Amino acid sequence: MPIKILLVDDHTVVRSGLSKFLLVNKEFKLVGEASDGAEAVQMVSLHKPDVVLMDLMMPGTDGITATREIHQKYPKVKVIALTSFAEQNMVQGALQAGAIGYLQKNVTAKELGHAIRSAYEGKMTLSPEATQVLANSVAQPQIAGGQLTERECDVLRCLVDGLNNNEIAEELVVSLGTVKFHISNIFHKLGVDSRVEAVKLALEQKLV
């Protein structure tokens, strides 16, 4: 039986390129495509894929949030983060959310095929960049707020100032989807569930 795969990426061109690779490989079967995290969770429920190739930076529900939900609801489904970035917060966030692999989009067809087969067998595959990021993070002190990136600190300051998501996007000149992505990471890293809790912790521990 071929390995059933779901593609998740907000760029049509990326999905098109990946789907062509999957369609010519008899080992794999493309069962669906999604353009954001919320749609991805719905498609997993509908098609029950074996492996999900998940972009992380998407408008609406980001890939890390979607990965976490898929991992909680459908633990047998393997998620491979497939992104253009290898920042510490993204690598750690994806793996902590339940991803079994982390690759960059410049991966070769052979490497991607190997990662899919490994994920299906329950084996982790990391890009060299992701491996280096994790190695560098081991020596860093894990104090509250210490693992926040510079941009996440900027977003946290905006939260303390009482700005809403649209105002933060305008203030930092980024997209609304990027703001939501950073806030999701901030909540996860600080161990909080709401803006109020994040702001309270930030003030109490003088994180900003």
Strand-pairing partners, residue 51, are: 5, 78
Residue 139 has pLDDT above 60, yes or no: no
Q: Is residue 35 part of a domain?
A: yes
Q: Is residue 162 part of a domain?
A: yes
> What confidence tens digit (pLDDT) does each residue in 174-206 have?
999 999 999 998 988 888 888 888 888 888 888
Whole-angstrom Cα distance, residue 46 to residue 75? 15
Whole-angstrom Cα distance, residue 21 to residue 32? 14
Confidence of residue 141 (pLDDT cuts 50, 70, 90): very low
Q: 165 lies in which domain range? A: 150-204
Is the same domain home to 27 and 100?
A: yes
DSSP 8-state class, residue 2: P
Q: List the beta strands (DSSP E) in 10-136.
A: 28-34, 51-54, 78-83, 101-104, 125-126
CATH number, domain with residue 197: 1.10.10.10
| Torsion angle, alpha carbons of 71, 73, 77, 82, to 10 | -40
Is the same domain home to 111 and 183?
A: no
Domain boundary among 81, 115, 137: 137
Q: Is residue 187 part of a domain?
A: yes
Is the same domain home to 98 and 160?
A: no
Whole-angstrom Cα distance, residue 111 to residue 115? 6
Structure tokens that stand for 102 in this block: 């982390």
Is the same domain home to 164 and 71?
A: no
Q: Is residue 142 part of a domain?
A: no
Query: For 108, phi and psi rounded to 5 degrees?
Result: -80, 160
